[in-house]
A and B are shown apart, each in its own frame.
Chain A
């Protein structure tokens, strides 16, 4: 059972966490929603397309211009407050590794802290506990935030992912984060080459078997691009294939750029799985 913003979700729920970047330089949208109003429009758009969660980010993941704590707060906190006011039922996540940012966005109404850099700042989990917020515990291979993987090796990438994410999750609970508010994320592409990310996708069921709700962040990433040798703008179909595979194995939350398409794939998986009825079954029944 997962609990976010006061709502409970069964293990067969399939939730979309829509990416909303308040950055001038993120890899997919390239600053399209950097402006406050554009980002707000994006929130309305993804909610209409079926997202339950928005993940607001103020720092691009890849290396680039320095964004210090003050600037990250400037980009995220007022925006979170505005989204909270305009969309009272929306689950608001903030993508940050810094506890100072975490504290300010929780004050502004964030429900979830998406710690995509694998617990780099150990105090972020303390902030989640302090504000009774939810927390995503991600595997990033122990690398520094905003670095690219370089010749990273694992004896067994899945074993490393399981021990690190479950370790982070247990630590968060020990610090006071509600057990029902912790998710784990294998961290596709973070501290990993394409072989690693493909293997984790293939073996995702083992992560689900830990009992922690699993979030996957697959959207238009390099492992999709390399699997298919396709540039950024042609990775949607590969992303959706990976989405279906992860959903089938039990992932619950899908961090995504392309919300409407992802919703359709997840609804189809739910219909195949039998956890959601078809919308309109009349064929052969007249």
Chain B
């Protein structure tokens, strides 16, 4: 049974030290993520499952963000990040570490282009497990086409798409995420669609209360941060 959900975006920017010196916009986002993860942990699940999308080839290759020589600001020492896992999972685990999580952590990565039906089924299988009270940390960000300087340039369809996600997250009606158009999401470089649809499958029609901790696009990519607790 799911006792709490937190959702965070997974830009490489959240890897510690990767921005060089701290960047204000990134630190604001990180603080929101840690607040959401904090609510997840406060619900005292017996274990946490990080759910994240995986790009093509992300399962077996080390992360490209490890190349170069990023430094952590405090120690001046090179970063050590997990390699060999999708970026979304690495960042989710990193946020859990930063939030002081001592619970068992598992992860479920889904191909970023997985069919909606497959995502929903994966979510249902997650909750079918009788053994545990689960906290889900769902990694996903929205379109990358929200401005002329955005990674995917400006696409007028980006804002309406992100708004449809935002309204699901903010209202607590997570089942609505099942309706997201996978093809359009791919065109808008949405990295969260598959993971959000796993979430929709896991939660189903359960009602809950949502809190949107962050919703902004400082670099042209929409980053939602939310937490969700089932209604008792």
- Give A contacts to B, CB under 8 Å: 271, 274, 277-282, 284-286
Contact = CB atoms under 8 A, between A and B. Distances in A.
Given A274-B69, A277-B73, A285 B20 contact: no
Contacts of B20: 271, 277-281
Which 7 pairs across A and B sit closest by C-beta, in order of nearness?
A278-B20, A286-B219, A277-B20, A285-B12, A281-B20, A277-B71, A274-B69
Contact of B21 (A274, A280, A284, A286): A280
B204 interface: no
B151 interface: yes
Interface of B: 11-13, 17-21, 23, 26, 65, 69-71, 73, 144, 151, 219-221
Contact of A286 (B17, B70, B71, B144): B144
Contacts of A279: 20-21
18 contacts: A274-B69, A274-B71, A277-B17, A277-B21, A278-B19, A278-B21, A280-B20, A280-B21, A281-B19, A281-B20, A281-B23, A282-B19, A285-B12, A285-B18, A286-B13, A286-B151, A286-B220, A286-B221
Nearest to B70: A277
Most chain B Cβ neighbours within 10 Å, of A274, A279, A281, A286: A286
A282 B26 contact: yes
A50 to B, nearest CB: 15
A178 B141 CA distance: 58
A278 B21 CA distance: 6
A280 B19 contact: yes
Nearest to B219: A286
Contacts of B151: 284, 286
Contacts of B19: 278, 280-282, 285
Q: Binding site of B, secondary structure by majority: helix, strand, loop or mixed?
A: loop
A283 to B, nearest CB: 9
Nearest to A278: B20
Nearest to A283: B219
Contacts of A274: 69, 71
A286 B23 contact: no
A14 to B, nearest CB: 15
Nearest to A286: B219
A110 B225 CA distance: 55
Given A271-B20, A274-B69, A284-B151, 8 more contacts: A277-B20, A277-B71, A277-B73, A278-B19, A279-B21, A281-B18, A282-B19, A286-B13
A281 B70 CA distance: 10
Contacts of B23: 280-282
A279 B65 CA distance: 17
Contacts of A282: 13, 19, 23, 26, 219
B220 to A, nearest CB: 7
Nearest to A274: B69
B81 to A, nearest CB: 13
Contacts of B21: 277-280
A284 B11 CA distance: 9
Contact of B11 (A271, A277, A278, A286): A286
A281 B73 CA distance: 13
B112 to A, nearest CB: 16
A110 to B, nearest CB: 32
A274 B71 CA distance: 8
Nearest to B221: A286
B22 to A, nearest CB: 9
Nearest to B78: A274
A277 B17 CA distance: 8
Contacts of A280: 19-21, 23
Contacts of A281: 18-20, 23, 70
B65 A285 contact: yes
Contacts of A277: 17, 20-21, 70-71, 73
Nearest to B220: A286
B195 to A, nearest CB: 18
B12 to A, nearest CB: 4
Nearest to B223: A286
B90 to A, nearest CB: 13
A245 to B, nearest CB: 22
Nearest to B9: A286
Nearest to B69: A274
A279 B221 CA distance: 21
Nearest to B64: A284
